[in-house]
Structure 1
Amino acid sequence: MARMRKKADLPTKICATCGKPFAWRKKWERVWDEVRYCSDRCRAEAKRARPQAAS
């Protein structure tokens, strides 16, 4: 079994909405390159801030 990593050793990113740093999570393992927001709240806020253009 793999050894546990310390939180400080995990990769981090900056949230596109709030600008706060957030760390890698196991549930993001396969999609880490696509993760842009630290939480569902920030993701929803980003969608609300820029509404979709009508076609």
Structure 2
Amino acid sequence: MHQKPHLPTKTCPVCERPFAWRKKWAKDWDSVRYCSERCRRNRKAGS
């Protein structure tokens, strides 16, 4: 059974695209703000 549609999502403040939970973010999902390293580096432009 495929569970991907049931994962929590957030919106990236830089690119404003939705991104879904990933296993590597399991321990700190509450503190994840950006969808990628590229958006994290460019955060000054977006927010």
TM range (shorter): 0.7 to 0.9
Match of 2:21 among 24, 28, 35: 24
Q: How far does the alpha carbon of each residue in 1:4-53 deviate from its partner, in whole angstroms, 9 at most, with x for none?
A: 75111000000011000000000000100000000000000014x3xxxx
Sequence identity (%) = 62
Give the TM-score normalised by structure 1: 0.74
How well do the aligned residues superpose, as a CA RMSD in angstroms? 1.9
SS for the counterpart of 2:13 is: coil
**TM-score calculated relative to the size of structure 2:** 0.85
Aligned residues: 46
Which range moved further: 37-46 or 4-13? Answer: 4-13
Greater relative CO, 1 or 2 (CA 8 Å, sep 6+): 2
Residue segments in structure 2 that go unaligned for 5+ positions in a row: none
Structure 1 alignment gaps of length 5 or more: 50-55
- The partner residue of 1:45 within 36, 42, 46 is 42
